[in-house]
Amino acid sequence: MRITQNYSINSLLRQVNLTRERINVYQRNLATGKRINRISDDPENIETVIRYKRMIKFNERFQNTIGSALDFMYFTSETLDQSANVIARVKELTIQGADSLNADEFKAFEQQIDQLLRKLVNLGNTKFKDRYIFGGANTDKPPFTLAPDGSSVTANPDGIDGALKAEIGDGKVEQYNISGEQVFNSDVDIFGTLIALRDAFANQDTATISNLIPDLETALDQITEANATLGAKIKRFELIDEQYRNENLRLQEFLSKTEDTDMAKTITDLQMEQTALETALRALAKTVNISLVDFM
């Protein structure tokens, strides 16, 4: 009789312990929102969870690289817009000043163009997060230096060309910068043109002033084309970033289906286990009391 009662008590104790373990699991799943919190929770699907998480992390690494490159390109494009506005203003002043009649007018145009020259040099030396955007591969030194007397602009002797590249996919690397050489020195030397124009106003040389207008038009086209090239790069990087974003959304959905807690079902299961625990505890209490009576 006692063996049977001991067996019943031990059986009830095992049932109570198992039920408590299941309750702990359900409570943890509800608290974390995940039904797989450790390998033992679902050995069959844990590899799938790990694979999805690895793929998401892999994509996010490329997204971070693409995002940094896009920020650099957005800023560069804004600077190119400002540079184009400077050239457009110089062209406007040149057309107006070509018909100047007295020294005061020539002097006024000379001063305005000199100010715009200095502004353009500053734009050429623009930095984004401690990197000179038009330095080509040499981003740690100013690309352009204006002589103290304003007579010339010299480029960084280490070069203002070269590519900045970003890894946008597994084994895929692409350039994301526009070099200072491409913007300011490709078809026409823009700084040299502005210096020659300013000096022509200083010398009241109307013939040279008129002859430089086509160079200003070329300079404006040069900057605009550089910005268009950059715009195409921006579109490509944005498209790739969107592809990664969409892929990660799909992976997150797959991951959620695999590891997330089904809240409604888990709450129902938890309530059932709590009821089962209460029943087992009452049965255990009754059995223990009976056992004590028999023993006495």
**What is the tens place of the pLDDT at every residue in 241-292?**
999 999 999 988 877 776 655 556 656 766 776 776 677 677 767 776 655 4
Task: Output the pLDDT for position 269.
Answer: 60
Amino acid sitting at position 109: F
Does residue 5 or residue 241 have the better pLDDT?
241
Burial classification of residue 257, based on how many CB atoms lie within 10 Å of its CB (0-12 exposed, 13-18 middle, 19 or more buried): exposed
Contacting residues for 229 by C-beta, under 8 A, at least 6 apart: 178, 182
pLDDT > 70: percent of the chain: 76
Tokens at 40, concatenated: 């033992």
d(CA 81, CA 249): 35
| pTM score above 0.85 | no
Helix residue ranges, H only, the chain:
2-32, 43-97, 103-124, 180-184, 190-202, 206-211, 213-259, 263-295
Token digits of residue 8 = 């019943």
Residue 255 has φ and ψ, to the nearest 5°, of -65, -40
149 or 1, which is more confident: 149
pLDDT at 240: 97
What is the Cα–Cα distance from 42 to 46, expressed in whole angstroms? Answer: 6
Interatomic CA distance for residues 205 and 198, integer angstroms: 10
Which CATH superfamily groups domain 59-253? f41 fragment of flagellin, N-terminal domain (1.20.1330.10)
Q: What is the pLDDT of residues 97-125, one digit of tens each?
A: 998 889 999 999 999 999 999 999 999 99
> How far is 30 from 27, CA to CA, in rounded Å?
5
d(CA 271, CA 257): 23
Domain segments of the chain as ranges = 2-35+261-295, 59-253
Q: What is the dihedral of CA 222, 224, 227, 232, to 10 degrees?
A: -100
pLDDT given for residue 44 in this prediction: 62
CA gap 138, 155 in Å, rounded = 11
* Tens digit of each residue's pLDDT (9 = 90 or more) over 38-52: 555 566 667 787 888
pLDDT digit string, tens, across residues 113-165: 999 999 999 999 999 999 999 999 999 999 999 999 999 999 999 999 999 99
User: E strand or H helix at 153, and its extent?
Assistant: strand 153-155
Predicted confidence at residue 256, as pLDDT, reads 73
Give the model's pLDDT for residue 296: 36
- Chain centroid to CA 133: how far? 17
Note whether 9 and 294 are within 8 A (CB): no
Neighbours of 40 (CB within 10 A): 8
